[in-house]
Structure 1
């Protein structure tokens, strides 16, 4: 039975898509989750996927807040994610500071779009308990909400949002990069066997290493992303300058978990238990190596 791998169909997923094309569905199948990490976590919980390639902060906060549906098994992107802050084309908001006390659009509870709103509030010095949210499912719902005035702004990855901005469907008013590497890999502790998951991660590492190489960056990466996503060449070139992938998808830096938890705790997203967090609860050490 092939592993069911949940992912978000964005430019970050290019090495995964290349791996999937080479595998041909023999060892894994891809399950697209357009609403992002909140949907990925939901599908892990509901037995709709076995593995999720998802954003660092919601994965870690989910485990910290008690989820037993998955553990971390690897790393996917080792650089921060740049979250664009987007408002409506004709809205009254012109900067991040204008958003204080307003309603922020998010895709789902527990999503990266919600977690990063807390991080933004922390940076701005706003009380995180004052944040108000409206769930709008996906980027289309989020764009509709800022343009009909039901929300002030939403947060989504910069280059994924840019085509909508270029088409006049919204305005950028700022950005908030994550204080942590952006993507990790999680797996259900029982449905995804250690052997099958390790084999998948070893295969993914080969495609990630190839995509991350200087040769691929100079030759095949740009035409692949143009073909799959239709982004302008200059946007892809700009993104490639900002992104790095891990040397091994089977390794997780300990500091990523600790530093992410530290920021999430300050933002009020997680609460440290007495005696502190136990790293064993976050990582499946039968698969991943903590470095």
Structure 2
């Protein structure tokens, strides 16, 4: 079968794009999801994709809230994600503290942009019941909303947003790194475990090549420059912060309790009677807990 792989087209996806160029559609096809993790989860649920490479917190949140549509099948990025806090060029907001009790822009309900707003509130001791959101679908809608005043700010990955800030379309007023590894891989519950395992085993080779010291010094930078148009200095700065696992078919078991604990404190999820069970989150026919 040809797997439908949902992804967000940004620099983190570089190993996947390198794999796709070599595969040329023989074993999988890419399905771009520009709105982010909320859209990826929606497409998994609606049988529009088989596999999603998406943000850890939102994937775990979806399962914790009862979704049976997908299970976690692997790791993708092991380092935290640095979420920038962005406002309009002429807005009155100049720091994270200014955002309390305002309306935050998000891409979709359940997306990483919403989950991280809860984390930001938790870190600043804001009551999460007071959080207000406006859905703006994608990065362009989010930028428009902070400039027309319908939202105070939004959160998006730092280097993805930096070109818009450099062009004077928005302003950074802070950042909030995730308190967990940033990306996991999920698959529809009914998708062939053998097909997913084969795909992830092959992707692991491209990830390890991309993550090598040699590739970091040589081919990674021109590839990202060509695909995304980022300045070389931004790519070099990002490469110093990002790390990938050596085996995508493993997930640290400690990730679940740690992430769920923070999500509970931030008011994002509520545990069932008896607590969360890790086995409910993963497809053990594909991935190994370590």
TM-score interval (norm. to shorter): over 0.9
CA deviations on 1:11-42 (whole Å, 9 max, x unpaired) are 00000000111111111000000000000000
Name the residue aligned to 2:228.
Answer: 229
- Matched with 1:256 is 255
Moved over 6 A (4+): none
Does the residue aligned with 1:187 lie in a helix, a strand or coil?
A: strand
- Is 1:247 equivalent to 2:246 in the alignment? yes
Superposed CA deviations along residues 235-289 of structure 1, whole A, max 9, x for unmatched, are 0000000000001000000111111101000001000111111111000001000
Q: Which residue of 2 aligns with 1:185?
A: 185
Equivalence map 1:109-148=2 (5 Å): 109-148=109-148
Name the counterpart of 1:158: 158
Cα distance in 2 for partners of 1:44, 1:181 equals 21
Partner-residue secondary structure (3-state), 1:83: strand
User: Using the alignment, how far apart are the partners of 1:238 and 1:21 within structure 2?
Assistant: 25
> Take 2:157 and 2:254, find their aligned partners in 1: how far apart are those partners?
23
Which residue is 2:72 aligned to?
Answer: 72
Give unpaired runs (5+ residues) of structure 2. Answer: none
Residue number in structure 2 paired with 1:26: 26
Q: TM-score, normalised on structure 2?
A: 1.00
For 2:93 and 2:194, locate their aligned partners in 1 and report how far apart those are by CA, in whole Å. 51
1:81 aligns with 2:81: yes
Match of 1:174 in 2: 174
Q: Distance in 2 between matches of 1:94 and 1:189?
A: 44
Count of residues paired in the alignment = 290
Q: Which residue of 1 aligns with 2:94?
A: 94
Equivalent residue runs for 1:16-55 within 5 Å: 16-55=16-55
- How large is the RMSD of aligned CA atoms in angstroms? 0.4
Aligned to 2:267: 268
- Give the 3-state SS of the residue equivalent to 1:234 in structure 2: helix
Take 2:279 and 2:141, find their aligned partners in 1: how far apart are those partners? 38
Query: How many angstroms apart in 2 are the aligned matches of 1:136 and 1:255?
Result: 34
TM-score (structure 1 length as normaliser): 0.99
Q: CA separation in 1, counterparts of 2:194 and 2:217?
A: 35
Q: Distance in 2 between matches of 1:207 and 1:181?
A: 19
Give the whole-Å Cα distance in 2 for the aligned partners of 1:197 and 1:126: 41
Deviation of 1:189 (Å)? 1.2
